[in-house]
């Protein structure tokens, strides 16, 4: 987050330079409350005029509050945004303020920096079945790939991006990017250099993407406070039965095709159980402005939040089902 804050309509407080939205509460009285919270958060994080933290926060593995089964992973971060977990359980984080991508290999406690170069505000992350890693280089308006086992990045031939955020890849290697300001999702078919618009309709600030085991595509349609799904082979999107969302900005899918979404301004993570209308809140405890989400191969859930943390909620947690 940056140090210059402004009010928008509706009563949204956000940093001028960063595209991240912040806490939104309707009503004139609530505007004052949000402003106080925003300023307090800003002071607590000691942001500098350059837009990065004046000091990074070191997190070692520790328990989250008693109401949560989550643990904090040992990353040292400055404004993280994207998180991804590969099939081996390795965890990747886009450390946006540090202009780098970190990897915490399964079974270790020391993250390593991956050999991406020239990053400016890395955002969304994705892996494919081959272990290739994709990152959205937001301020350079591009998508980069680091092939498995390589130290040399490749720029994918997307064109005309204005503010890309989320990225994902399907089972055959097609890559998709959410172009936030252009209100569109683009596909780069495997082996092609020509991007193709994905037929989502009425998008408003699409922020993140995910694919399921059948290559259905999901988009966090943040400005519309909804999540859309485009089944494989279809041109007709579906709106998933989440309710009460307030800027959903990240989405992930588990092995059974249950859908997870970070509900930014409500400081929570929701799960829609596959094949049902059952939505539940995950017990992450003291989340504050969650920005990225991923689900590991054993259905552990990972979230990054405003407090420069990566939280892991091990499988076996007890969610709280929302009433209909």
Is 160 inside a domain boundary?
Answer: yes
Distance CA 223, CA 207 (A): 9
pLDDT in tens, the chain (324 residues): 333 333 233 333 333 334 455 444 344 344 333 333 343 333 333 333 333 333 344 444 454 554 568 999 999 999 999 999 999 999 999 999 999 999 999 999 999 999 999 999 999 999 999 999 999 999 999 999 999 999 999 999 999 999 999 999 999 999 999 999 999 999 999 999 999 999 999 999 999 999 999 999 999 999 999 999 999 999 999 999 999 999 999 999 999 999 999 999 999 999 999 999 999 999 999 999 999 999 999 999 999 999 999 999 999 999 999 986
Is 51 inside a domain boundary?
Answer: no
Whole-number pLDDT of residue 47:
30
Report the mean per-residue pLDDT for the chain: 86
Residue 195 near residue 161, CB atoms below 8 Å = no
The reply to whether 126 and 172 lie within a common domain is yes
Is 198 inside a domain boundary?
Answer: yes
Helix (H) or strand (E) holding 170: none
Q: Report DSSP letters for 94-126, one per residue.
A: EEGGGTEEEEE-TT-S--EE----S-SSEEEEE
Residue 290 near residue 269, CB atoms below 8 Å = yes
Whole-number pLDDT of residue 9:
30
* DSSP assignment letter at 323: P
Whole-number pLDDT of residue 324:
65
Whole-number pLDDT of residue 94:
99
CATH number for 68: 2.120.10.30
Domain count, the chain: 2
Is 265 inside a domain boundary?
Answer: yes
Q: 284-313: per-residue pLDDT in tens?
A: 999 999 999 999 999 999 999 999 999 999
Residues whose CB is less than 8 angstroms from the CB of residue 30 and which lie 6 or more positions away in sequence, other chains included: 11
Whole-number pLDDT of residue 323:
80
Domain that holds residue 152: 57-321
Distance CA 240, CA 219 (A): 10
The reply to whether 28 and 106 lie within a common domain is no
The reply to whether 218 and 270 lie within a common domain is yes
Closest by CA position to 134, among listed 79, 180, 190: 190
Q: How far is CA 182 from CA 161, 186, 279, 300, in A?
A: 8, 10, 30, 33
3-class SS of residue 180:
coil
Distance CA 170, CA 56 (A): 34
Is 292 inside a domain boundary?
Answer: yes
Whole-number pLDDT of residue 20:
53
The reply to whether 38 and 161 lie within a common domain is no
The reply to whether 165 and 30 lie within a common domain is no
Buried/exposed code over 192-227 (b: 16+ C-beta within 10 A; e: otherwise):
eeebeebebeebebbbbbbbbeeebbbbbbbbbbbb
Distance CA 303, CA 71 (A): 11
Closest by CA position to 134, among listed 113, 160, 116: 116
Distance CA 246, CA 24 (A): 8
End-to-end CA distance of the chain: 35
3-class SS of residue 176:
strand
């Amino acid at each position: 987050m940056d140090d210059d804050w402004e009010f928008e309509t509706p009563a949204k407080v956000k940093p001028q330079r960063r595209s991240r939205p912040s806490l939104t509460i309707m009503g004139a009285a609530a505007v004052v409350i949000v402003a106080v919270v925003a300023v307090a958060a800003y002071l607590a994080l000691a942001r500098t005029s350059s837009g990065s933290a004046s000091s990074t926060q070191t997190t070692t593995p520790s328990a989250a509050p008693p109401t949560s089964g989550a643990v904090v992973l040992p990353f040292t971060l400055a404004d993280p945004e994207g998180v991804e977990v590969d099939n081996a359980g390795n965890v990747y984080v886009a450390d946006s303020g540090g202009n780098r991508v970190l990897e915490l290999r399964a079974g270790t406690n020391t993250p390593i920096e991956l050999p991406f170069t020239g990053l400016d505000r890395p955002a969304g992350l994705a892996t494919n079945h081959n272990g290739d890693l994709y990152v959205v280089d937001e301020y350079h308006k591009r998508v980069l790939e680091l092939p498995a086992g390589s130290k040399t990045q490749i720029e994918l031939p997307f064109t005309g991006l204005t503010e890309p955020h989320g990225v994902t890849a399907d089972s055959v290697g097609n890559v998709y990017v959410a172009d936030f300001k252009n209100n569109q999702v683009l596909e780069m078919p495997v082996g092609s250099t020509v991007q193709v618009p994905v037929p989502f309709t009425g998008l408003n600030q699409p922020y993140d993407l995910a694919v399921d085991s059948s290559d259905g595509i999901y988009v966090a349609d943040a400005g519309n406070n909804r999540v859309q799904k485009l089944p494989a082979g279809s041109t007709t999107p579906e709106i998933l039965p989440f309710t009460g969302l307030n800027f959903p900005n990240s989405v992930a899918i588990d092995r059974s095709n249950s859908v997870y979404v970070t509900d930014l301004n409500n400081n929570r993570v929701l799960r829609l159980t596959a094949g049902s209308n059952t939505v539940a809140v995950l017990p992450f405890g003291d989340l504050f402005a969650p920005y990225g989400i991923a689900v590991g191969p054993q259905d552990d859930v990972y979230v990054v939040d405003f407090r420069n943390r990566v939280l892991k909620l091990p499988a076996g947690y007890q969610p709280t089902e929302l009433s209909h």
